[in-house]
Copies of this chain bind each other. A is one copy, B any other.
Amino acid sequence: MVKKSEAGDESKLLTLDYNNVTAEVVGADKGLGRTELEAMKRHLTYAQKSFLRRKAKGLYPFADLPFDAKMASLCRRLATEGRKKYDDAVVLGIGGSALGANAVFSALRPLNHNSLPDETRGWPRLRVADNIDPESFEVLLDGLDLKKTFFYVISKSGATAETMSQFMIVTEKLEKKLGRKSVKDHVLFVTDPEKGVLNKLMASSPYDFSDSLSIPPGVGGRFSVFTAVGLAPLAMVGVDVAKLLAGARAAQEDFEKPVMSNKALLFAGLNHQLRSFKNGSSLVMMPYADSLARVSDWFGQLWNESLGKAERADGGPPAGQTAIKAVGATDQHSQLQLYMEGPEDKIVCFLGVEKYRANVKIPRLFQDQPELAYLSGRGLGDLLNFERQGTARALAENRRPNMTLLCSVVSPQTVGYLLQTLMLATIVSGSLYGVDPLDQPGVELGKKFTYGLMGREGFEEMKARYDKGLKSDPRRLV
């Protein structure tokens, strides 16, 4: 585990400890030995060069985002005006249009931000409507004072069924409540700079929509947290987006370091080796902090949607390492049994926090009970860190590979650093697996069936195909 002296360095935002994935700790059949680490190093050297070359050609615009201060200042300016006018900021978006804002908001605003009284909160509440469940969407809308609510409509194509359904419902509600002319004052489009339905609506609709922020071409949803997709709502609720980008910049700069001291490369390379040669088919991302729980949701999309691909350069079997979300210490009482004793197909990545932002001390009570006395006088944060360390060690003794990403604190800088590092690791992993980490062809078929079932013009064939192939043997309906 990480020693105080090493990770305590405040200037070090994030530490990766991978001792527990080595053959030395978990054995040669489960862990990586010297030869494998050497092979990994060669692959990574190549992948790093390839990344930097492609980046220079403009193929990875996400990697340039942290250096573009313009969007961040624009978002801050909009927020400075907005915070006076609005009580609620609502993101209408799904997948990559929601997960980044959700993750950073949970990490950096107080966990009770939305229930704080106006004067303490100082910034609008944030609501992220990332599903079309009629029950939760109704509850959300019923809780809003529309006059004081601002909606971010986030969709690159403007054709996302879920987001656009929400947008249509909201538009009608705003019109009924505030009049047609006012609708546009409560809506900001975050979309492609030129293409797509939202741009068409700006060109012509009864509502004179005019406000939009652009998602740079070439930046897909799961890499968009540092575009307006993330920055606009985050600035509006009081996140220091400048510091967030500063952290991301540091990660991007650190990506030029030599392989064996490069966290993004090592995270990608170690997992790729474990996946390819040691049956590490799942990667459990397990933050030991409630504030980081949604970072593992965000990571789950990033990793799974980027790497879960049928088409590989070498024609090999389907790629992908299944990222699984867990939260410590909670899931020690729920998932750990499986990780310790179940199928040996998992790598656990602990996401630790060296110093929590609150200090809650366990008082000296019930000293005559040995099951309680040892807790007295300790901080909850100490207990949480010891549980993480004890769990990592128990897994290692059971020869279950695990690694630790340790944040010095949870701050805009560390979160920015962490997210950028994981995005870089994802792209590098794509090149190690020989897949395109930027596409998601597998989601189209389900959408087309849905269009068919919804009766969308031009998709009659999909409806016919659905009906024709429908197997509904009543014996298998129980």
> Do A450 and B386 have beta carbons less than 8 Å apart?
yes
In the complex, A202 has a CB within 8 A of chain B: no
How long is the Cα–Cα vector from A128 to B332 in the complex, in angstroms? 17
Confirm or deny: A315 has a beta carbon within 8 angstroms of a beta carbon on chain B. Answer: no
Residues of B close to A112: CB separation below 8 A: 139, 142-143
Q: List 14 A-B contacts (CB under 8 A).
A: A1-B472, A15-B477, A17-B472, A19-B471, A94-B329, A98-B330, A115-B115, A137-B360, A197-B371, A262-B478, A309-B341, A370-B458, A374-B451, A374-B454
Map CB proximity to B onto A314-326 as digits: 1 under 8 Å, 0 otherwise. Answer: 0001111010110
Q: Which residues of B contact A372 (CB under 8 A)?
A: 159, 164, 168, 197
Cβ A457 vs Cβ B358 within 8 A: no
> In this assembly, does A132 line the interface, its C-beta being within 8 Å of a C-beta of chain B?
yes
Nearest Cβ on chain B to A141's Cβ, whole angstroms? 8
Query: Which residue from chain B places its CB closest to the CB of A320 in the assembled complex?
Result: B342
Interface 0/1 of A389-424, CB less than 8 Å to B: 111011111100000000000000000000000000
Given A94-B329, A386-B453, the answer on whether A476 and B19 have CB atoms closer than 8 Å is yes
Mark the stretch among A54-62, A245-253, A361-369 that contacts chain B: A361-369
Q: Is there contact, CB below 8 Å, between A394 and B358?
A: no
Q: Does A384 contact B (CB under 8 A)?
A: yes
A281 in the interface (beta carbon within 8 A): yes
Decide yes or no whether A70 CB sits under 8 A from chain B: no
A80: interface (CB < 8 Å): no
Cβ of A301 under 8 Å from chain B: yes
Assess the A25–B471 pair: CB atoms within 8 A: yes
Q: How many residues of A contact B (CB 8 A)?
A: 163
- Cβ contacts A201-235/B at 8 Å (1 or 0 each): 10001000000000000000100000000000000
Expressed in whole angstroms, the minimum distance between the Cβ of A401 and any Cβ of chain B is 12
The digit string for A1-15, where 1 denotes a CB below 8 A from any CB of B, is 111001100000001
With a CB–CB cut-off of 8 A, which chain B residues contact A1?
Answer: 470, 472
Partner-contacting stretch, out of A145-153, A236-244, A435-443 = A435-443
A104 to B188, CA, bound (A): 37
Contact of A136 among B157, B281, B290, B378 (CB under 8 A): B290
- The verdict on A179 contacting chain B, using a C-beta distance below 8 Å, is no
Are A133 and B393 in contact (CB-based, < 8 A)?
no
CB distance B134 to A341 under 8 Å? Answer: no
Q: Nearest 4 CB-CB pairs, A to B? A: A95-B333, A308-B338, A308-B342, A320-B342
CB-CB nearest in chain B for A162: B329
Residues of B within 8 A of A281 (CB): 281, 343, 345
Q: Are A6 and B308 closer than 8 Å at their CB atoms? A: no
Question: Nearest B residue to A160 by beta-carbon distance?
Answer: B333
Per-residue CB proximity of A285-323 to B under 8 Å, as 1/0?
Answer: 000111100000100110011011111000001111010
Is the C-beta of A379 less than 8 angstroms from some C-beta in chain B? yes
The residues in A between 454 and 478 inclusive whose CB is less than 8 angstroms from any CB of B are: 454-458, 466, 469-478
Chain B CB within 8 A of A172 CB: yes
B99, B309, B363: the one contacting A169 at CB < 8 Å is B363
Interface presence of A161 (CB below 8 A): yes
Judged by a CB distance under 8 angstroms, whether A376 is at the interface is yes
Q: How far is the CA of A375 from the CA of B459 in the complex (A)?
A: 13
* Contacts A301-B335, A375-B168, A477-B16 given; does A446 touch B322 at CB 8 Å: no
The B-contacting residues of A in range 102-146, CB under 8 angstroms, are 110-112, 115, 130-139, 142-143
The reply to whether A390 and B452 form a contact with Cβ atoms under 8 Å apart is yes
Cβ of A282 under 8 Å from chain B: yes
Given contacts A22-B473, A281-B281, 13 further A-B contacts (CB under 8 A): A2-B477, A3-B472, A19-B471, A133-B384, A134-B360, A165-B375, A171-B363, A205-B366, A308-B342, A332-B443, A336-B442, A391-B446, A394-B446
Judge if A334 is at the interface, Cβ distance under 8 Å. Answer: yes
Tell me, yes or no, whether A39 is within 8 Å of chain B by CB.
Answer: no
B110 close to A139 (CB less than 8 A): yes
**CB < 8 Å neighbour of A466 from B320, B338, B393, B474:** B393
Contact among B358, B447, B449 for A135, CB-based, below 8 A? B358
Q: Within the complex, what minimum Cβ distance (angstroms) separates A287 from chain B?
A: 10
Query: Is A356 part of the binding interface, using a Cβ–Cβ cutoff of 8 Å?
Result: yes
